[in-house]
Structure 1
Amino acid sequence: MAYTFQVTFDSADPHALADWWADALGWEVEPSDEPFIRGLIEAGHVTEDDTTTHRGALVWKAGAAIRHPDGLEGAPRVLFQLVLDPKTVKNRVHLDVSTGSEDPRALVERLIAKGAKHLHEGSQGPYTWTTLADPQGNELCVAH
């Protein structure tokens, strides 16, 4: 049997990081279901402390997710979950972003302008890539 999966990032500010990655990848932030959240609060299943407001919407404090515009058929869901411990070491897993026929340098420049940090350039044979860190320090590579 084959399994599906989502990729999960620990984050000190999951909603801001979901916004950043959605913009970086051209994906969509999953919308909040405010009536559902309010119903759970009214029923006593959760409290207001389990929520926050992001861009004027009531959202779960614990996290936010993004998905490909084509849905889960396009790519796995990416979840950003609230973890207050700071990142202290290099990620053991990271995303490699392929720009296809588009110029990868344009994406690298755009991401740096939006808060990414340039870490280094790499190459192996005919393949080259740029390693960046997102605004919270998670590594990613943009493939050339």
Structure 2
Amino acid sequence: MACRISELVLGCRNPEVLAKFWCEVLDFVVLGREDDGTVEIGPREGFGGPQPTIILSRRDEPEKGKSRLHIDVNATDCSQEAELERLLALGARPADIGQTGKESWFVLADPEGNEFCLLRTRLDPL
């Protein structure tokens, strides 16, 4: 037996802003909203498919210290450079975590500063 990742939960100050950003980045849709401001986004087929959903949970204060988990993304229909331009246009910004400049990936931050990486390899869309 084994487990599978079904959801990723990200605490944030403004779930709606991050839902809009990550839906654009991942071609996800909003799957649901809770009364407490929590927003669930995911692939159009919804929960339980080949990709996990993302729960954006409202937090008034960010977690203390650096997050120990980050998301890596890959372009599916364009070059890494073209995808980088697209992500920056959506509101991502470069993040400096001590890179040398020789890495094959780009470190970025979402609108709330959560770091994620754009990897070089292009993946087939699901």
TM-score range, shorter chain: 0.7 to 0.9
- How do 1:44-123 residues align onto structure 2 when only pairs under 5 Å count? 60-71=35-46, 72-86=48-62, 89-100=65-76, 102-120=78-96, 121=101, 123=103
Rg comparison, structure with higher value = 1
- In the TM superposition, residue 106 of structure 1 has moved relative to its aligned partner by 1.7
Give distance in 2, aligned partners of 1:142 and 1:81.
Answer: 24
Overall identity of the aligned pairs, in %: 29
Unaligned ranges ≥5, structure 2:
121-126
Task: Please tell me whether the aligned partners of residues 32 and 41 of structure 2 are also in contact (alpha carbons under 8 angstroms).
Answer: no
- Indicate whether 1:138 and 2:114 are aligned: yes
Give distance in 2, aligned partners of 1:22 and 1:91.
Answer: 21
Structure 1 residue matching 2:87: 3-state secondary structure: helix
Give distance in 1, aligned partners of 2:63 and 2:88.
Answer: 20
- Indicate whether 1:24 and 2:19 are aligned: no
Give distance in 1, aligned partners of 2:89 and 2:19.
Answer: 17
- Indicate whether 1:13 and 2:11 are aligned: no
- In the TM superposition, residue 122 of structure 1 has moved relative to its aligned partner by 5.5
Instruction: Give the length in aligned residue pairs.
Output: 114
- In the TM superposition, residue 119 of structure 1 has moved relative to its aligned partner by 1.5
**Letter matched to residue 134 of structure 1:** D
Partner residue of 2:3? 3
- In the TM superposition, residue 91 of structure 1 has moved relative to its aligned partner by 2.1
| Greater share of helix | 1
Give distance in 2, aligned partners of 1:65 and 1:91.
Answer: 20
The 1:23–1:107 alpha-carbon spacing in structure 2 relative to 1, beyond 3 Å, is: same
**Letter matched to residue 105 of structure 2:** W
Give distance in 2, aligned partners of 1:122 and 1:69.
Answer: 36
Give distance in 2, aligned partners of 1:11 and 1:31.
Answer: 16
**Letter matched to residue 30 of structure 1:** L
- In the TM superposition, residue 101 of structure 1 has moved relative to its aligned partner by 5.2
- In the TM superposition, residue 115 of structure 1 has moved relative to its aligned partner by 1.6
Q: Which 10-residue stretch deviates more, 111-120 or 20-29?
A: 111-120
